[in-house]
C-alpha cells in the first residue's frame, strides 16, 4: 500500500513539473508586436518569438501550430510526450502499460496547463 501511495505522489509531482515546463515553453513563444517589427522597431516578444516574428505571426492561428506553441491546452499532447517518454524510458524501460498512463497524463496536462496559465 505504501508503494502505491508513494508512486501516485511521485506521478502527481511529475505531472506538475511537466505542466510548468509546458507553460514555460508557451511563454518562450509568446509575442505580439508584428506591427512594431515591420516598422523597424525592436520587438518586445519573448526568446523564440524574437528569432522569427514574421513566421510566428503568420502561423499562430493554423491548426498545426496549436500543439506546438499556440494553445497551452493543446500543447499537453505533443510536449507531454516529449517530456514523458524520455524520462519514463530512462528510469523504467519500455512497458506497454506506459501507453495508457501517458494518455491519462496528457488529459491531466490539459487541465493543469490551463490552470497554471490562468494563474500567471
User: pLDDT grade, residue 35 (50/70/90)?
Assistant: low
Give me the pLDDT at residue 59, please: 78
Q: How many domains does the chain fold into?
A: 1
Report the 10 Å Cβ neighbour count for 105. 20
- Full-model pTM: 0.79
Q: Does 112 score more than 60 pLDDT?
A: yes
Determine the pLDDT at residue 33.
Answer: 61
Burial class (CB in 10 A: 0-12, 13-18, 19+), 33: middle
- 7, part of any domain: no
With respect to residue 50, please indicate whether it lies within any of the assigned structural domains. yes
- Model confidence band, residue 42 (pLDDT cutoffs 50, 70, 90): low
- Let me know if residue 6 belongs to a domain: no
Domain-embedded: residue 22: yes
Range(s) of the domain holding residue 56? 12-118
Residue 2 within a domain? no
Amino acid at each position: 500500500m505504501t508503494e502505491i501511495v508513494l508512486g501516485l505522489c511521485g506521478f502527481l509531482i511529475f505531472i506538475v513539473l511537466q505542466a510548468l515546463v509546458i507553460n514555460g515553453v508557451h511563454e518562450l513563444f509568446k509575442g505580439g508586436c508584428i506591427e512594431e517589427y515591420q516598422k523597424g522597431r525592436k520587438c518586445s516578444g519573448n526568446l523564440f518569438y524574437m528569432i522569427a516574428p514574421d513566421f510566428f505571426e503568420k502561423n499562430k492561428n493554423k491548426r498545426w501550430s496549436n500543439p506546438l506553441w499556440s494553445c497551452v491546452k493543446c500543447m499537453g499532447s505533443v510536449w507531454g510526450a516529449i517530456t514523458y517518454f524520455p524520462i519514463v524510458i530512462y528510469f523504467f524501460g519500455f512497458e506497454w502499460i506506459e501507453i495508457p498512463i501517458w494518455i491519462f497524463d496528457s488529459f491531466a496536462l490539459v487541465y493543469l496547463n490551463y490552470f497554471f496559465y490562468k494563474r500567471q
